[in-house]
Amino acid sequence: MPFQLPTFAHRVIRYRSTRITSEGLQFLIFVLAIGIAAINTGNNLFYLLLAMMLSLILVSGIAAEYCLRRLGVRRHLPDLLFVNTPVTTSLVVKNRKSRLTSFSLTLSDVRDNQFLSPNMELHSIPPGASRVLSYQLTPTRRGKLLLNGVRISTEFPFGLFTKRAFYPIEDTLVVCPELQPVNDRLLRGLFAAGYEQAVHRRGHGSDLYNLRLYQAGDDSRSIHWPTTARTSQLTIRETEAEEQRRAIICVPTSVPMSHDASFERAVSLAASLVQHLTRHSYSIQLRLGSERSSFGQGEAHGLDLLRMLGLCERITPTAQSEMKQDQWADAHSELGGGGTAVVIQAWSDSVGETELPWIRIDGALIPGGAHVA
């Protein structure tokens, strides 16, 4: 059987810690004074008092350890977070002990030994009971957010020591770019481009395309009864196919470090456009540097694109990347006239210095500040 003490000791050292409080320090100084007096005088009353005070320290350590033992902690968070958008984070704490109550608990969410949440206090948790605590989490930067665990501490019963326990609960979340309102003129230009590309043709849909006489084999459910009654001839109602408007959103990732803030604004703008176009039933493809998504529409596809934007990274420009970057402006030609190409670029030698990203819709350049509502 392998020797388990090193593993146990490592777990205790890693997940348990004890810190003396100011009251505890005063108490220890008093204990030391009583101990010196007992040794110097040999008085049994001093020895008795010293034993009682030492027993309080022992009881304090044991009681605090039992308060922190056998606690179950769960964290509830949405799958996607957004920069500067607060979300409610819930911590569910359960006392798994069968008999003992846990008293005076303080909880904090931890990331890389840094507290993400304010101290949340629980006065007591009876055996087998659960308590729910909530706090507001506001991410400040996009990317992956790794939550390491929850730190629980207690000063029960006498407030002499702060006993801490760390419960590892790892959650990796994706923080998406900040969603901001987009200028109405820019949106009207996008939607107008999409409507101009719509091709009216016969197919499955809800809008009227044409009325014609009934022919053998036609579906009787397509008979247009008002016209049939007026003309005394069976008339079929043909519907217009619902045209799927397409858009390609391009965000070049080859940007110098000096334009990092502009790159973040470009990513935020792309996320805002993805949200707007998704709501208007566009089929969207997202291109981030050399990475590209498939065409798709709907809320699930829109969330996938936001996740891509949350995880994309800026790269330092090279001669090869700058050569490839020139091809982004021609993305609209790849659609064959059947969609809208939007290029959101944070930096380009041809455009010059600018603090805001510039936008190109089907080849038409829009100044960087025009996208902010």
Q: CATH number, domain at 356?
A: 3.40.1380
Helix (H, G, I), strand (E, B) or coil at 188: helix
Name the β-bridge partners of 19. 162
Number of other CB atoms surrounding residue 183 within 10 Å: 15
Query: What number is the average pLDDT over the span 207-230?
Result: 81
Q: Are residues 12 and 101 in the same domain?
A: yes
Q: Which of 133, 120, 146 is nearest to 90 (CA)?
A: 133
Indicate the burial class of 223 (C-beta count within 10 angstroms; 0-12, 13-18, 19 or more).
Answer: middle
Distance, in Å, from the CA atom of 238 to the CA atom of 248, rounded to the nearest integer, reads: 32
Q: How confident is the model at residue 349 (pLDDT cuts 50, 70, 90)?
A: low
pLDDT for res 221: 80
pLDDT at 322 over 80: no
pLDDT for res 185: 65
Higher pLDDT, 15 or 17: 17
Q: Are residues 154 and 21 in the same domain?
A: yes
Helices marked H in 16-146 = 22-41, 44-68
pLDDT at 271 over 90: yes
> Which of 96-100, 123-127, 282-286 comes out lowest in average pLDDT?
282-286
Q: Are residues 34 and 119 in the same domain?
A: yes
Percent of the chain surpassing pLDDT 90: 43
Q: How confident is the model at residue 241 (pLDDT cuts 50, 70, 90)?
A: low
**Last residue of some domain: 125, 142, 176?**
176
pLDDT for res 192: 57
Query: What number is the average pLDDT over the span 143-160?
Result: 92
Domain tally, the chain: 3
Distance, in Å, from the CA atom of 194 to the CA atom of 246, rounded to the nearest integer, reads: 7
> Which of 19-28, 89-98, 158-167, 226-235 comes out lowest in average pLDDT?
226-235
Handedness of CA 296, 297, 299, 302 (dihedral sign): positive
Q: Are residues 169 and 65 in the same domain?
A: yes
Q: Are residues 229 and 284 in the same domain?
A: no
Q: Are residues 56 and 113 in the same domain?
A: yes
Q: How confident is the model at residue 5 (pLDDT cuts 50, 70, 90)?
A: very low
Mean pLDDT estimate for the chain? 81
Query: What number is the average pLDDT over the span 13-39?
Result: 90
Q: How confident is the model at residue 195 (pLDDT cuts 50, 70, 90)?
A: very low
Q: How confident is the model at residue 355 (pLDDT cuts 50, 70, 90)?
A: low
Which backbone phi and psi does 97 adopt, to 5 degrees?
A: -75, 150
Query: What number is the average pLDDT over the span 244-266?
Result: 86
Number of other CB atoms surrounding residue 277 within 10 Å: 25
Query: What number is the average pLDDT over the span 91-101?
Result: 94
Q: How confident is the model at residue 134 (pLDDT cuts 50, 70, 90)?
A: very high
Higher pLDDT, 130 or 213: 130
Q: How confident is the model at residue 184 (pLDDT cuts 50, 70, 90)?
A: low
pLDDT for res 372: 47
Q: How confident is the model at residue 2 (pLDDT cuts 50, 70, 90)?
A: very low
Q: Are residues 25 and 156 in the same domain?
A: yes
Q: How confident is the model at residue 341 (pLDDT cuts 50, 70, 90)?
A: confident
pLDDT for res 317: 78
pTM over 0.95, yes/no: no
pLDDT for res 189: 58
Residue 310 makes CB contacts below 8 A (sequence gap 6+) with: 80, 142, 143, 174, 175, 176, 177
Helices and strands: H and E segment counts in the chain: 9, 18
| Both tokens assigned to 34 | 């009583």
pLDDT at 81 over 90: yes
The residue with tokens 């009881």 is 59
Give residue 52's domain range. 1-176
The residue with tokens 């100011």 is 22
End-to-end CA distance of the chain: 69
Q: Are residues 276 and 365 in the same domain?
A: yes
pLDDT for res 44: 93
pLDDT for res 321: 54
- Residue 104 sits in a domain whose CATH number is 2.60.40.10
Q: Are residues 42 and 67 in the same domain?
A: yes
pLDDT for res 3: 42
Q: Are residues 206 and 262 in the same domain?
A: no
Higher pLDDT, 329 or 214: 214
Which backbone phi and psi does 254 adopt, to 5 degrees?
A: -85, 95
Q: Are residues 212 and 103 in the same domain?
A: no
| Both tokens assigned to 256 | 């110098």
Query: What number is the average pLDDT over the span 24-34?
Result: 95
Q: How confident is the model at residue 344 (pLDDT cuts 50, 70, 90)?
A: confident
Q: Are residues 259 and 213 in the same domain?
A: no
pLDDT for res 33: 96
